[in-house]
Structure 1
Amino acid sequence: MAVNRPTWPTLPVPRDPATDAVLGSGLVEELSYAFGGPFHFLLPDAFDANLRAMRAALAEARVDGFVYYAKKANKAAVWIERCAARGAGVDVASVGELREALGHGVRGENIVVTGPAKGMELLRLAVRHGALIAVDALDELDALITTVPTATARPGRLLLRCLPPSQPHSRFGMNDAELSTAMDRCVRAGDAVRMEGFSFHLSGYAIQPRSDLAGRLVDLCLQARALGLEAGRISIGGGLAVSYTDADSWHTFLGEQNSGHYHAAKSFDAGDFYPYHSPAAGSDALRALLAAHPEGHDRNLAELLKEAGVALLMEPGRALLDRAGATVFRIQGVKDRDGYQLLTVDGTSLSLSEQWFNSEYLPDPHLLSRSVDAPVGTWPASIGAATCLESDMLTWRKIPFPRRPRTGDLLVYPNTAGYQMDSNESPFHDLTLPPKVVIDHTERARPRWRLDRHFT
């Protein structure tokens, strides 16, 4: 039954002209029919715009820097193709990812290899192609020094990864004593390696802790140079937030939501939600970082970098994919519950990955109704998957739709390119993985499309 009181929390997303053009073109319905199941559509122009904005932030601060796309955020080939065409880098953590980056045209020297305990095949391939390697541990450094150069006849380019003092229980990076040992080994290794600086990755999105640790790494570069090492670059990893909604909507949602707003009275700890609003996001987060004063320094980070002649590297994933795609499901079943509906769609929550982190993807999906006579009002509905698992819910929350959802309608989840589409995808029940469709708006009244060229 329709519920006409505004009692259901919502999380609207700002209008995006590129997404609106796709939804208004009729293309989504055609593609759903053609594929016979869920699919993702990708908007590479948004990726280009985000990359330009980050480069502009570096230029405004007159800081030498380089942007690597964190490939783990989305497997589509189109992002790697854009990196190759725009002279950006790619952050990889496996042999497969490295081969894909090379295969789609990214130069080896524009690739950074991260991740823990890298295997010998990955190290050899990285050194052979001149990629930069973020060394996570002393035994990995030893492998790079002793085995890889012998096999490849060229020095290994490396950064030493720092264990963040604020996150001492992280399994990544080296503490102060290990870093000191690592620098000494790099000195003794001579031409076997080229030690180019330091790196870190922090959980969360706070600006000041990143500034503090970046300032510390600038100081470490100066110490390393005193030992005769090159040490002219630091990498801050990722952690540039994406703002999916406005501040009022986000804070109102957090204040209103409770277990009564979810199917089966499901409850979530608000602290487990991604921060769907951030006052400084994307390139603005980078500007805020460069303007912040690291602890113990009387100048901002940009000034420290320039004075020390240190370049700033970064590895954003989600922030480069902001507004760069959406995910489409078709409703194939509707059940009426007490005061709300339970919808079943033609896919699984494995293609909307937030559920698999004990959380919920909160931005409201769009309902594309096939029926012009669908009753209007407020129609709350939760959204389940086409599997036999009780817990396989795309959206536990009862979304207040403006029309009554019906079988055959489409649901479009907005802004899913960053980590949602394929981080946990699986052909469970032998369901086909949702294809990725690249949308081109260039000088055409109606968008055109092609399938992504991801290697499979």
Structure 2
Amino acid sequence: MPAYVDPIERRLLADPVLLGDIAEAVGGPFHVLFPERVSLNIKTFQQAFTAAGVDGFVYFGKKANKAACVVRACAESGAGVDVASTGELVAALSQGVRGEDLMVTGPAKSDELLWLAARHRALIAIDALDELRRLGELELPVRVLLRVLPEGSNSRFGLDPMELEQAIQAISGSITLSGFSFHLSGYDVVARSELAAALVGHCLRARANGHPADTISIGGGFGVDYLDAQFWAKFQNTLSANWFHTNPATDYYPYHFPVPGAAMLSAILDHQNLAELLRDNEIRLAIEPGRALLDRAGSSVFRIQGVKTRTAQGNPYDILTVDGTSLSLSEQWFDSEYLPDPVLWPTRPGRLTPTCVGATTCLESDLLSRRRIPLPRRAHLRDLLVYPNTAGYQMDSNESTFHELPLPPKVVLHAAADRLRWTLDATSR
């Protein structure tokens, strides 16, 4: 199942020496990031707003990747950042994101986070009534959104109808009610559009009580298209336990997504003419994509440390051991699997070899790929295995120094006119 890749990654894989030079310089596994792709992804969302005639603003959901180069790309591309901790807030400011372009989310925010957010005029999504009380005690001018608990949801986040009404009545003095927000799990266009329309009604009622209420945030959940439709359909329709070293997962990310990213935003705006409703009521729509802004913006690279052969049902296959862990491919630790095929580097002729990939730890379950991937040749010691399109949640969210292994550093790749140039990301220096 070959993944879609960015042109800069094709250049990297085609270069006969650069990837090996980086591996030699940094040692161990590492991640490569392409910030120009982040800027392009931001631009596509901004263009979707412009095409619909909607006042919109993009916030990058920072939890999806902590690389400094991603935040710098946001600052340079006119996007904001969605943060949920003092560390994330400070990291965003340090890369040039202005305080008023920060959205502060998350539950039970600390006093320190609320104070810092208020000092920098960030927009704060209120998740509980006590947050309003604590903000009022600061006596600083602050802008807030009230996070709405969707009807029928059992989420631990958001304000139920009674809490929402209490919050609206409690807002006064230095606190400004800028609008409302919500987050939905899954990727349902209709549910997002219709709940956004309902929040327009909340804004109008709040305006009647003297609040500006001119912003709605619909959160993230914009799908990413990793694979061609035919490969994904074939996998789903012919899935067999015989393809795997151990039992296959039962739940996978939808690696083919027919209406991804900015196209999904356009579909949300188009449903029941939400765009016109927003325009007519002069309401700004905020979005907080994470994975979708990182589509094709990075890869994870592992060096092969061992190769052995096993046989199942009379068919031989290889088991590789690489110099990292499946903590760097987060799906495995959610009892799932990252399915886009890794690329074996360097490219050489050879014979198709079914191969699964194990990690360097002592855990039987620590497998980067349980699936027997049809590599184009047999892997050898010191070859590199490149997992494509891992910038969105794969790197970072579960990585740890288990076995006292160092965290993989992040390498930033830029395309110069004559060649590719690389440096370490600020988080890895």
Q: Which TM-score bucket, shorter chain as reference?
A: over 0.9
Note the residue ranges of structure 2 that are not aligned, 5 or more in a row: none
Q: CA–CA distance in 1 between the matches of 2:187 and 2:135?
A: 32
Q: Is the 8 A contact 2:181 2:217 kept in 1?
A: yes
Q: CA–CA distance in 2 between the matches of 1:253 and 1:224?
A: 50
- List per-residue Cα deviations over 1:259-316 (Å, max 9, x = no partner): 221112x1211xx2111111111111111111012xxxxxx11011001111000111
Q: CA–CA distance in 2 between the matches of 1:78 and 1:36?
A: 21
Q: What aligned pairs does 1:178-197 form with structure 2 within 5 A after superposition?
A: 178-186=163-171, 189=172, 191-197=173-179
Matched, 1:394 2:371: no
What is the Cα deviation at residue 455 of structure 1? 7.5
1:311 is aligned to 284
Cα root mean square deviation, aligned: 1.3
- List per-residue Cα deviations over 1:67-101 (Å, max 9, x = no partner): 01111110100011112222210100001001111
What is the Cα deviation at residue 148 of structure 1? 2.3
Matched, 1:375 2:350: yes
Note the residue ranges of structure 1 that are not aligned, 5 or more in a row: 1-10, 294-299
What is the Cα deviation at residue 118 of structure 1? 0.3
Q: CA–CA distance in 2 between the matches of 1:442 and 1:125?
A: 38
Q: CA–CA distance in 2 between the matches of 1:17 and 1:105?
A: 27
Q: Is the 8 A contact 2:304 2:385 kept in 1?
A: yes
Q: CA–CA distance in 2 between the matches of 1:407 and 1:414?
A: 21
Q: What aligned pairs does 1:35-434 form with structure 2 within 5 A after superposition?
A: 35-145=26-136, 147-149=137-139, 154-166=140-152, 168-186=153-171, 189=172, 191-264=173-246, 266-269=247-250, 272-293=251-272, 300-338=273-311, 339-369=316-346, 372=348, 375-376=350-351, 378-434=352-408
Aligned pairs, number: 424
Q: Is the 8 A contact 1:369 1:406 kept in 2?
A: no
Q: CA–CA distance in 1 between the matches of 2:65 and 2:180?
A: 26
Q: CA–CA distance in 2 between the matches of 1:17 and 1:71?
A: 24
Deviating beyond 6 angstroms after TM superposition, the runs of 4 or more aligned structure 1 residues are none
Q: CA–CA distance in 2 between the matches of 1:442 and 1:307?
A: 45
Q: What aligned pairs does 1:11-22 form with structure 2 within 5 A after superposition?
A: 11-22=1-12
Q: Is the 8 A contact 1:348 1:387 kept in 2?
A: yes
Aligned to 2:193, the other structure's residue is in SS state helix
Amino acid at match of 1:359: S
Amino acid at match of 1:201: H
Q: CA–CA distance in 1 between the matches of 2:38 and 2:291?
A: 10
Q: CA–CA distance in 2 between the matches of 1:429 and 1:394?
A: 16
**TM-score with structure 1 setting the length:** 0.91
What is the Cα deviation at residue 390 of structure 1? 1.0
What is the Cα deviation at residue 130 of structure 1? 0.3
Q: CA–CA distance in 1 between the matches of 2:5 and 2:174?
A: 53
Q: CA–CA distance in 2 between the matches of 1:455 and 1:29?
A: 19
Q: Is the 8 A contact 1:126 1:133 kept in 2?
A: yes
Aligned to 1:134, the other structure's residue is in SS state strand
Q: Is the 8 A contact 1:130 1:157 kept in 2?
A: yes
What is the Cα deviation at residue 175 of structure 1? 1.3
Amino acid at match of 1:203: S
Q: CA–CA distance in 1 between the matches of 2:6 and 2:69?
A: 20
